[in-house]
C-alpha cells in the first residue's frame, strides 16, 4: 500500500490502519473482530483480551520479569503490571513449590531412590559447593581439562590410524 499510495500514504507504523495508513477507529477493529468470531464460531472476546493474553504469556515465559514486560506493554508503572498480572506469577510459584515438594519428599522420578522414600541429602566436598551446588572447584576444573586432553589425544590417534583420514588432516594442516 505504501508503494501504491506513495507520498499520500501516512506511515504511522500501525498494526491496524486504513489502506492509506491513517489510524483506524476502535469501533472498526471491534466490528471486524466480532465478524471474525461469528464467522468462525470462536469464543466471544473483546480486542483488549489479546493485549491481556500477550502480557500474561510474556510473564510466564520470561519467569516473571515484570520490568521487561512493563517496557514491552507500555505501562507507565511496574506496579500496574504487578497488580493486574501477579496472579500469574503466584500460580507458577505454587506449581514450583508443589513440584519441589513432590521430588524432594517423595523422591518421585529420582534415580536410585525408592519412590515414597525421602531423598537423601547430597554430599558436598566443600562449603562453597554446599552454598552453590553448581560451583566447580579449581581442582575439578583441572581434572576436566586433563580428561578432555586425554580424550582428544585418543581421538586424534584413532583418526590418524586411518591412512585416508591422516592424509586429509595433513592436507588441512598445510592449508592453514
The mean per-residue pLDDT over the stretch 124-148 comes to: 58
For the chain, helix, strand, coil in percent to 5 are: 65, 0, 35
Per-residue b or e along 92-119, where b marks 16 or more CB atoms closer than 10 Å to that residue's CB: eeeeeeeeeeeeeeebeeeeeeeeeeee
- Identify which has the larger pLDDT, 97 or 21: 21
Distance, in Å, from the CA atom of 131 to the CA atom of 106, rounded to the nearest integer, reads 24
Weakest mean pLDDT among 51-60, 121-130, 151-160: 121-130
The mean per-residue pLDDT over the stretch 59-78 comes to: 83
Task: At 12, list the grid cell.
Answer: 504511522
Q: What is the mean pLDDT of the chain?
A: 75
CB distance 30 to 24 below 8 Å:
no
pTM above 0.85, yes or no: no
Distance, in Å, from the CA atom of 54 to the CA atom of 57, rounded to the nearest integer, reads 5
Q: What was the pLDDT predicted at 81?
A: 83
Torsion of CA 43, 49, 51, 52, to 10 degrees: -110
Instruction: Tell me the DSSP string of 63-103.
Output: TS-HHHHHHHHT-S-HHHHHHHHHHHHHHHHHHHHHHHHHH
Amino acid at each position: 500500500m505504501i508503494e501504491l499510495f506513495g507520498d499520500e500514504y501516512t506511515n504511522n507504523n500501525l498494526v491496524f490502519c486504513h489502506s492509506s495508513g491513517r489510524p483506524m477507529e476502535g469501533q472498526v477493529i471491534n466490528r471486524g473482530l466480532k465478524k471474525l468470531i461469528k464467522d468462525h464460531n470462536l469464543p466471544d472476546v473483546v480486542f483488549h483480551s489479546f493485549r491481556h493474553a500477550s502480557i500474561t504469556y510474556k510473564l510466564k515465559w520470561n519467569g516473571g520479569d515484570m520490568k521487561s514486560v512493563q517496557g514491552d506493554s507500555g505501562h507507565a508503572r511496574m506496579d500496574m503490571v504487578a497488580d493486574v498480572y501477579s496472579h500469574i506469577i503466584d500460580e507458577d510459584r505454587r506449581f514450583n513449590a508443589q513440584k519441589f515438594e513432590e521430588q524432594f519428599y517423595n523422591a518421585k522420578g529420582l534415580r536410585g531412590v525408592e519412590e515414597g522414600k525421602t531423598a537423601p541429602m547430597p554430599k558436598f566436598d566443600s562449603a562453597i559447593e554446599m552454598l552453590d551446588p553448581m560451583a566447580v572447584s579449581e581442582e575439578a576444573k583441572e581434572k576436566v581439562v586433563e580428561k578432555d586432553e586425554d580424550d582428544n589425544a585418543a581421538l586424534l590417534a584413532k583418526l590418524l590410524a586411518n591412512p585416508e583420514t591422516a592424509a586429509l588432516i595433513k592436507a588441512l594442516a598445510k592449508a592453514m
